[in-house]
Amino acid sequence: MRIAVVGAGYVGLVSGVCFSDFGHEVVCIDSDPDKILQLRQGVVPIYEPGLEDLLARNLASGRLTFTTDMAQAVDEAEAVFIAVGTPTRRGDGHADLSYVMAAAADIGRALTGYAVVVTKSTVPVGTNRKVAAVLREANPQASFDMVSNPEFLREGAAIDDFMRPDRVVIGTETERARKVMAELYRPLSLREFPVVYTGLESAEMIKYASNAFLATKITFINEIAALCERVGADVKAVAKGMGMDGRIGSKFLHAGPGYGGSCFPKDTRALARSGQDHAVPMQIVETVIKVNEEVKRRMFLKIEDLLDGRLRDRTIAVLGLTFKPNTDDMREAPSLTLVPALVGAGAKVRVCDPQGQREGEALLPGVKWCDSAYQAVQGADLVVILTEWNEFRALDLARLAKRMAVPQMADLRNIYDPDEVRAAGFVRYAGVGR
Ligand code: NAD
């Protein structure tokens, strides 16, 4: 099949490369000419494990191409995917649909024959019908069906998630579009993946409800963690005991510094706004958003506590800045709240992240970037583990302690055993909820 993917970011690029690997002819379009130039040369502009190899393989096969020319890409495509960003609109918490609508108008003008137009971007309920209206307005003769096909991949494991999804959600209203979508995803059926066929609104809602539920689960355990600290319980044991209940499940029950990233913060805000617009306030989600901000603030207080309330001129090494390991994505990472607060309080902050520096340099002024954890902790009064990259999971703790002025650790991901840390020479250890 011939398909076009508009937007070559984390979702569009991974989808395009994977569809091409299934054997489809894929053209990826992006409005950023530098990105297209890089991709044509096989250079991946983001960090996503395995993507560079898969890109190279499919570029070489000739099935995958990149362009900024919408007309050429959309011509003869059987399906056109919209995978552009839907960040929070400045000021009101709504999803900013300007990129989606701009792409829709461009696609409308470029459509020649029948095509299925598929929204992969996360968009509020009702958006697919608005996209269809924009397409029709741009090209009253256009022959197309609208499909909502939200994406559930996780950055850092994106290829595997795309190739082996828990489910594929397809919102359609016509049999013709359903057949096109079934054919597109057919290569997956070898591994018996489940497809949920539904209407447009339900598909849109599944995505928001899923993300809001996961954000709620994380926030729930973070709140329990705060209480654990006061009552002498260990949230790791609590989460383990809870997670063994099949109705609860162990995933997303790891206490930490609060959720961040390119999806949960903006999607919870957009869902809360939708609820307000329809006079059905999403009270749980609104609380989750508020509590998550408190969780992030609590991390600052924890650090202040470890340093006996004095941050000025103290040296703090922060390990891990991206919102999670195995990505270079810094969007709404907890580090963007915590690090500026430490710098603002007068601390000398040293930072280290395996992939975050390119994005992070502009976002985190006033810090010193280091190449390794051992370099970052030299002479420090405290080491903070903020993102659990593998290389921070097996540090030589004794070596770390020896390099520090005062060996103290704030382990905001609970990756170390407190007794082991103390045995290695640390005088103080604080995790989350233990
Ligand atoms: P991104 O910012 O990485 O990529 C968006 C791309 O679209 C950019 O390269 C941009 O240049 C391009 N673009 C914008 N407007 C365009 C236009 N009119 N024509 C052509 N290209 C255009 O965004 P992302 O993280 O890939 O997210 C895309 C969508 O997928 C969002 O709605 C997001 O919520 C959703 N989503 C993201 C993830 C994730 O993990 N990142 C997971 C699931 C769903």
* DSSP H or E segment with residue 348: strand 348-352
CB 386 within 8 A of CB 324: no
In a domain, 212, yes or no: no
In a domain, 187, yes or no: yes
My answer on whether 161 and 244 are in the same domain is no
In a domain, 224, yes or no: no
Measured CA to CA, the distance from residue 127 to residue 12 in angstroms comes to 19
In a domain, 285, yes or no: yes
| Nearest atom (ligand 1) to Cα of 263 | 34
Q: In the chain, how many domains are there?
A: 2
> CATH code at 245?
3.40.50.720
Q: What is the pLDDT of residues 163-208, one digit of tens each?
A: 999 999 999 999 999 999 999 999 987 667 899 999 999 999 999 9
Q: Say if residue 130 carries a ligand binding annotation.
A: no
My answer on whether 182 and 243 are in the same domain is no
Q: Compute the mean pLDDT over every residue in the chain, rounded to the nearest whole number.
A: 97
The pair of three-digit structure tokens given for residue 51, joined into one six-digit string:
């993507």
My answer on whether 169 and 249 are in the same domain is no
My answer on whether 391 and 282 are in the same domain is yes
Q: What is the pLDDT of residues 289-298, one digit of tens each?
A: 999 999 999 9
Q: How far is the CA of 32 from the centre of ligand 1 (A)?
A: 12
CB 4 within 8 A of CB 77: yes
My answer on whether 168 and 242 are in the same domain is no
CB 231 within 8 A of CB 238: no
DSSP state of 89: P
Q: How far is the CA of 85 from the centre of ligand 1 (A)?
A: 3
Q: Say if residue 241 carries a ligand binding annotation.
A: no
CB 410 within 8 A of CB 303: yes
Find all residues with CB under 8 Å of 363, minimum gap 6, and list them: 330, 336
pLDDT at 190: 65
In a domain, 223, yes or no: no
Q: What are phi and psi of 67, to 5 degrees?
A: -155, 165
My answer on whether 189 and 262 are in the same domain is no
Average pLDDT of the residues in 63-80: 96
pLDDT at 91: 85
Task: State which amino acid sits at residue 121.
Answer: S
Pairing of strands 195-198, 368-369: unpaired
Going by alpha carbons, the residue nearest to atom 25 of ligand 1 is: 10
DSSP state of 28: E
Judged by DSSP in three states, 170 sits in strand
In a domain, 211, yes or no: no
- Please indicate whether residue 228 is annotated as part of the active site: no
Asked if the model's pLDDT at residue 284 lies above 90, the reply is: yes
My answer on whether 373 and 420 are in the same domain is yes
- How many helical (H) and strand (E) elements, i.e. helices and strands, does the chain have? 17, 14
Q: How far is the CA of 3 from the centre of ligand 1 (A)?
A: 17
Q: What is the pLDDT of residues 373-419, one digit of tens each?
A: 999 999 999 999 999 999 999 999 999 999 999 999 999 999 999 99
pLDDT at 191: 66
Q: What is the pLDDT of residues 217-227, one digit of tens each?
A: 999 999 999 99
My answer on whether 264 and 399 are in the same domain is yes
Judged by DSSP in three states, 67 sits in strand
Cα three-residue angle 111-114-116, rounded to 5 degrees: 90
In a domain, 215, yes or no: no
Task: State which amino acid sits at residue 398.
Answer: A
Measured CA to CA, the distance from residue 42 to residue 29 in angstroms comes to 15
Asked if the model's pLDDT at residue 345 lies above 90, the reply is: yes
The pair of three-digit structure tokens given for residue 223, joined into one six-digit string:
């709140």
| Nearest atom (ligand 1) to Cα of 35 | 9
Going by alpha carbons, the residue nearest to atom 32 of ligand 1 is: 121
Asked if the model's pLDDT at residue 120 lies above 80, the reply is: yes
Q: What is the DSSP string of 273-336?
A: HHHHHTT---HHHHHHHHHHHHHHHHHHHHHHHHTTT--TT-EEEEE--SSSTT----TT-THH
CB 120 within 8 A of CB 127: no
Percent of the chain with pLDDT over 90: 98
Average pLDDT of the residues in 91-100: 95
pLDDT at 299: 98
Going by alpha carbons, the residue nearest to atom 30 of ligand 1 is: 121
Structural domain boundaries, residue 386: 234-434
Q: How far is the CA of 29 from the centre of ligand 1 (A)?
A: 12
In a domain, 35, yes or no: yes
My answer on whether 366 and 249 are in the same domain is yes
My answer on whether 79 and 18 are in the same domain is yes
The pair of three-digit structure tokens given for residue 324, joined into one six-digit string:
């999670």
From first CA to last CA, the distance across the chain in angstroms is: 54
Residues with a CB atom less than 6 Å from ligand 1: 6-12, 29-32, 35, 83-86, 99, 102-103, 121-122, 151, 153, 155, 262-263
| Nearest atom (ligand 1) to Cα of 46 | 3
Measured CA to CA, the distance from residue 264 to residue 41 in angstroms comes to 33
| Nearest atom (ligand 1) to Cα of 8 | 9
Asked if the model's pLDDT at residue 363 lies above 70, the reply is: yes
My answer on whether 394 and 289 are in the same domain is yes
Going by alpha carbons, the residue nearest to atom 1 of ligand 1 is: 9
Q: How far is the CA of 125 from the centre of ligand 1 (A)?
A: 18
Question: Exposed (0-12), middle (13-18) or buried (19+): which is 79, by Cβ within 10 Å?
Answer: buried
My answer on whether 7 and 155 are in the same domain is yes
